[in-house]
Amino acid sequence: MFSSPVDVAIVLGVALLVFGPKKLPELGKSLGQGLGNFKKALTDAQEDVTSIKDRERDTASKNTVNADEAQPKSSAPAGSSVKTEEKAATVPHSGSDGET
């Protein structure tokens, strides 16, 4: 922002001329309080987002565990959504006469 001490001195000199020597300390104090409040609000927002993410992750892991426990064990391969009875019905049978 400021590349040298001369830049800082120029900005402070202009601020002194614009606001005057009596208002400059009040301006610095209010600016410091504003920055402090901004940092506190930013920290609070980050903590809120982190806690929401943690709650969502906990809820998702509980739902996954509950869904796994609720499903009956089957001998179908993992990822298979076709039931055993449906597989048997869809397999073509060839008769003794060669028809399918």
- Contact status, residue 78 vs residue 86, Cβ threshold 8 Å: no
Residue 15 placed within a domain: yes
The number of folded domains in the chain is 1
How confident is the model at residue 72, as a pLDDT?
Answer: 57
Residue 48 placed within a domain: yes
Q: With 0-12 CB in 10 A as exposed, 13-18 as middle and 19+ as buried, what is 31?
A: exposed
How confident is the model at residue 42, as a pLDDT?
Answer: 96
Could you tell me the pTM of the whole model? 0.47
Residue 75 placed within a domain: no
Task: Give per-residue pLDDT as tens, 11-31.
Answer: 989 999 998 989 989 988 999
Arithmetic mean of pLDDT, 26-50: 95
Residue 58 placed within a domain: yes
Q: For residue 46, what are the domain limits?
A: 5-70
Residue 26 placed within a domain: yes
Residue 76 placed within a domain: no
Q: Is 51 left (phi over 0), alpha (psi -120 to 50) or beta?
A: alpha
Task: Give per-residue pLDDT as tens, 47-93.
Answer: 999 999 999 888 888 777 665 555 555 555 555 555 555 555 555 55
Residue 46 placed within a domain: yes
